[in-house]
Structure 1
């Protein structure tokens, strides 16, 4: 019979591979870069290449499925596989929102609320099943499935919320990016100074880095007449993908991708 992590000895816990990375500065940097690529790559594939939103969504969903299968069979954290899945799920999350808004005519307000409700339900079912939402103990296939579903919904929610603020409310890409950065800074301060629950702080920050990064990606890639800097989706995507690869390589060299589960202290 499998033991829960909380009942295992300290030696057992140290020997149990965690399937996702530790939350470090590298983690947040790569995550921000990934959400930016998700926004610009989705636009490039669907618009610039003329593939169309529906076909792009089908292709990228299939590629993501292959990447997730590869991720699940590892049963441990392998940096390049994990971050490949994150980049792809960022693209698919963006396309999910774009399909709801553009193909099905669902207003951004409704899409944002619907994604928030689905994410909340995912967390509720996850907690009811596992009694924790900690990313420090993703040690079973069930927990990893909940984890990736939550990640997908955070990207869809973040895309909808970012577009709602930047475009529908006409706040602009730069101000939207700064707005969400300020909110994330408040969450970080609450965690480090006022002892905000670590798991809550993580998931709130994870959700909000999506609209911040996506708005920044739009700021760089969109034409000047639409409020961007006009770098284009190709330049922006290649620039950020290259930085992701370099950062993942650096992080892998530092710790070899060896991550182990820790007790749910937070």
Structure 2
């Protein structure tokens, strides 16, 4: 006789969607988090004198701890999710900084390497799950793909931002305007020309990293280097305070999330092709 006991839960079992909707608040916090990633990495490395290696080790441990908590959750919790984003922003910045500053890898090469790594991540994710939609992060495996992609977007964005601002000598303000213009073009293409939603989201997600990094450098770097001279401490504290305020508001307003959307209703990767 067949057993009436339920099958053991697998690591791929469905759960409530673990990623928030891409609202205006989502993008504001994302840009602020990328800015903190840039300034906090500089603060820990230079101002506190920890050095790139020790800073990288400490932040990597904190990120692993945050992701461990995030993955064990069965639904989206603003505080845990955005803590992971801030930490992965710092770690992504440090990965690029270690490659360029400690190992002497050219910025154009790090940009190319992380771009290829991100494309490969998307390719494997799409082949495995048949979707790249953030509305479908309802299994542990999909969440693992998601966070790996996020890590590569931050590392790629750091390299690309430094390449434009420093490697090409355009400066922080020009770099900020360049990446803001590119994001605006993506938004127009999505709204007016029906650019695929998944492609538009991930393109904007990548571009907000160098946008935030350029903003952070513009505010924190000395005036002699093209910045406004606010310093990494003041800039990091200001943006962390704004992030904390927004996350508290989101947490207070949070209600039980809806059940996972039917996969057929999510935006599938096949729509890109």
Classify the TM-score, shorter chain. Answer: over 0.9
Tell which structure's C-alpha radius of gyration is larger. 2
Change (3 A) 1:257 1:184: farther
Q: Which residue does 1:35 correspond to in 2?
A: 34
User: How far is 1:257 from its partner?
Assistant: 6.7
Residue 173 in 1 paired to residue 172 in 2? yes
Q: Which residue does 2:77 correspond to in 1?
A: 78
Q: Which residue does 1:264 correspond to in 2?
A: 266
Using the alignment, how far apart are the partners of 2:256 and 2:134 within structure 1? 16
Q: Deviations over 1:141-172 (max 9, x none)?
A: 00000000000000000000000000010111
Q: Which residue does 1:133 correspond to in 2?
A: 132
C-alpha root-mean-square deviation of aligned residues, in Å?
Answer: 1.5
Q: Taking structure 1 as the reference length, what is the TM-score of the superposition?
A: 0.93
Give runs of ≥4 in structure 1 deviating > 3 Å: none
User: How far is 1:260 from its partner?
Assistant: 4.4
Count of residues paired in the alignment: 254
Using the alignment, how far apart are the partners of 2:63 and 2:255 within structure 1? 24
Q: Is the 8 A contact 1:222 1:229 kept in 2?
A: yes
Q: Which residue does 1:21 correspond to in 2?
A: 20
Residue 50 in 1 paired to residue 52 in 2? no
Q: Is the 8 A contact 1:17 1:76 kept in 2?
A: yes
User: How far is 1:121 from its partner?
Assistant: 0.3
Gaps of 5+ in 2: 1-6, 9-13, 269-273
Q: Which residue does 1:150 correspond to in 2?
A: 149
Using the alignment, how far apart are the partners of 1:259 and 1:211 within structure 2? 33
Q: Taking structure 2 as the reference length, what is the TM-score of the superposition?
A: 0.90
Matches within 5 A, 1:63-74: 63-74=62-73
Gaps of 5+ in 1: 3-12
